[in-house]
Amino acid sequence: MTPDAPAPTLRDLLTAGRRRLEAAGDATAQLDAEVLLRHLLGLDRARLYARLPEPAPPGTAERYRALIERRAAGEPVAYITGHREFMGLDFLVDRRVLVPRPETEHLVEWALAWLRPRHGHRLVVDVGTGSGAIAVSLAVHAADPTIRIVGSDRALDALQVAAANRDRLAPGRVALVAGDLLTWCRPGIDLVLANLPYLRPDQAHAGIAWEPQVALYSDGTGFELYRRLLPQAAERLRRGGAVGCEIDPSQREVALATARAHFPGARIEVRPDLAGLDRYLLIETG
């Protein structure tokens, strides 16, 4: 831009950002360009669109281009902004944790429905809590002080993110534990929830290259961590308890077989996500 050229408008920036992301193959270019501009300016969607005809504030174009280039290189929008919405809540996220996915919200909704008719003191453990999305969302939406919620993870850096989210969104409502699966826990759990690493290394792709590998991949078929978790859950679950796990669709049969081996007589099913893919292993013992 020459010294005499007019400053670009916010609409100009948004259009240029969208076009750059489209050229980079971003399937959600319009949304991503908008979210990044809103983040930079601190505006909600309505206020941004009301101000689109206005000239961009000094320095905005350069800062916005830098954000767009990060996204064009494949960095998730959530890592660029440091935020991700999950269950209507604003979670802090960075490269220490996975970006929470919309499909995991169904696991939380199932847990809320399971807890609703059951009264008295109940203990819920979210295994592999990561950002704390599942545990914190349960604490906020259940809003029941008789439900004790624990989030566990073997990654200390992930627990730091979970603690920040808990303290912002559900202070005093979620305990956090550093531990491997359920090895740290005694019997007496009412509900076990888990979204553990379940991908095989050969399922790697560019869309998840920025996220922590330890939170994505498991050995062998990708089901190995669940092979360890399910017998531990069976030993620690209170009578009438339940287990809910997010799995890879290819693991449906091995998930059912493993669950039946460790929970004889339980109601066991695999439910699809909104895309129709087998996604949730659900076990109810009574």
Residues 70 and 112 in one domain: no
Of 38, 59, 74, the position where a domain reaches its end is: 74
Residues 70 and 111 in one domain: no
List beta partners, residue 85: 90
Residues 144 and 277 in one domain: yes
How far is CA 258 from each of CA 92, 170, 240, 273, rounded to the nearest angstrom?
35, 34, 19, 21
**Distance between CA atoms of residues 114 and 125, nearest Å:** 14
Residues 110 and 224 in one domain: yes
Q: Is the pLDDT of residue 3 over 70?
A: no
Q: What is the pTM of this model?
A: 0.93
For 173-184, what is each residue's pLDDT tens digit? 999 999 999 999
**Distance between CA atoms of residues 180 and 219, nearest Å:** 16
Calculate the average pLDDT of the chain: 95
Q: Is the pLDDT of residue 5 over 80?
A: no
Determine, yes or no, domain membership for 84: no
Please give the backbone phi and psi of residue 242, each rounded to the nearest 5 degrees, phi first.
Answer: -150, 160
**Distance between CA atoms of residues 192 and 187, nearest Å:** 12
CATH number of the domain residue 280 falls in: 3.40.50.150
Residues 180 and 261 in one domain: yes
List beta partners, residue 237: 189
For 159-173, what is each residue's pLDDT tens digit? 999 999 999 999 999
Determine, yes or no, domain membership for 85: no
**Distance between CA atoms of residues 272 and 223, nearest Å:** 17
Q: What is the 3-state secondary structure (H, E, C) of 210-225?
A: CCCHHHCECCCCCCHH
Least confident of 165-169, 214-218, 231-235: 214-218
Residues 104 and 34 in one domain: no
Residues 67 and 117 in one domain: no
Provide the pLDDT confidence category of residue 206 given band limits of 50, 70 and 90.
confident
For 72-114, what is each residue's pLDDT tens digit? 999 999 999 999 999 999 999 999 999 999 999 999 999 999 9
Domain residues for the domain of 274 are: 98-284
Residues 167 and 255 in one domain: yes
Provide the pLDDT confidence category of residue 241 given band limits of 50, 70 and 90.
very high
Residues 35 and 104 in one domain: no
Residues 64 and 118 in one domain: no
